[in-house]
Amino acid sequence: MSQLLAADGESFEAPGVADFWQPLVGDGAFAITRPMVVMALSVVLIGGLLLLVARRLSTVPGKAQFIVEGGYGFVRNGIARDVIGSHDFRRFVPLLFTLFVLILVNNLFGVVPFVQYPTFSRIGFAAALTAVVLVTFHVVGIRRKGVGAYFRGLVPGGLPGWIVPFMFFLELVTVFITRPLTLGMRLFANMFAGHLLLLVFILGGEYLLLHGEGLTRLASIPAFGLGIVMTFFEILVQFLQAYVFVLLSAFYIAGALADEH
């Protein structure tokens, strides 16, 4: 912990992991926490918006319809069709679009005033989404090829016989451990690190301004300035993470469906 001495003798407490634990009702394992409320809010918001837009569809789209159709078209054509292929991408579009919008809105809540909490900076939320993707791509792979062929398909053909068990083991580790771990951790760690970065600049600037002495107060200006710059950078990262999560999910589904390894 870095310590800055101030005029009134209080020292600066650097923000840390503890700042992310914010129970609203109750305490302990069954507390209703702030990210839970934010997640519920996002679901109501997304559901309401999409229902509203879908109810008054018109041939000449209005502003809201244009934005929603743009987002839908981006996931459908830009991710699902390009990655999974035009033969059987259709049934995965609802899943991928849901993932994309849910992650995007929850990430953006990290910088929306008064909400200001990226839900996926708690690993439980990221883990739940990852579990959905993990089950999905294994189940579609097994249903397409059957259990034996699915696991045989993990190892590329044409390898010398003695290397096959090693490859099989490595691929099992990749498919069941590395993939879900990296998928969930990437989203969680990005949101966590980004939010922590903003906390450092904003809280540090506030501390310098309110508890600083003389010219030290001026140092709060670059701190707040960087806080603002980092907020815009965060918005970019939030879009990127939603995109990357859905892109990788589509890659995994495409890999499970592919005939050859």
E strands in the chain: 23-25, 32-33
Contact segment (CB under 8 A) with another protein among 25-33, 55-63, 146-154, 182-190 equals: 182-190
Query: Tokens representing 244?
Result: 């990357």
DSSP string, 145-172: H-HHHHHHTTSPSS--GGGHHHHHHHHH
Contact 181, 170 (CB under 8 A): no
Interface pattern 201-240 for another protein (x via CB under 8 A): ---------------------------------------x
Binding another protein (rule: CB under 8 A), the pick from 164, 244, 255, 258 is 244
Contact 192, 20 (CB under 8 A): yes
Binding another protein (rule: CB under 8 A), the pick from 95, 185, 199, 258 is 185
Contact 126, 120 (CB under 8 A): yes
| Size of the chain, expressed as the number of residues it contains | 261
C-alpha count within 13 angstroms, C-beta hemisphere, residue 73 = 6
Query: Tokens representing 63?
Result: 């502003």
Nearer to another protein (CB atom), residue 21 or residue 139:
21
Binding to another protein by residue 243, rule CB under 8 A?
yes
Binding another protein (rule: CB under 8 A), the pick from 40, 43, 131, 193 is 193
Binding to another protein by residue 186, rule CB under 8 A?
yes
Binding another protein (rule: CB under 8 A), the pick from 130, 190, 220, 249 is 190
Nearer to another protein (CB atom), residue 1 or residue 51:
1
Chain residues 82-121 in contact with another protein, contact rule CB under 8 A: 82-83
Binding to another protein by residue 247, rule CB under 8 A?
yes
Contact segment (CB under 8 A) with another protein among 69-77, 106-114, 144-152, 180-188 equals: 180-188
Query: Tokens representing 164?
Result: 């096959």
Contact 96, 230 (CB under 8 A): no
Nearer to another protein (CB atom), residue 167 or residue 244:
244
Residues 6+ apart with CB under 8 A from 255: 137
Binding another protein (rule: CB under 8 A), the pick from 6, 41, 164, 189 is 189
E strands in 95-143: none
Binding to another protein by residue 16, rule CB under 8 A?
yes
> Residues in the site for another protein, rule: CB under 8 A?
1-3, 16-17, 82-83, 182, 185-186, 188-190, 192-193, 240, 243-244, 247-248, 251
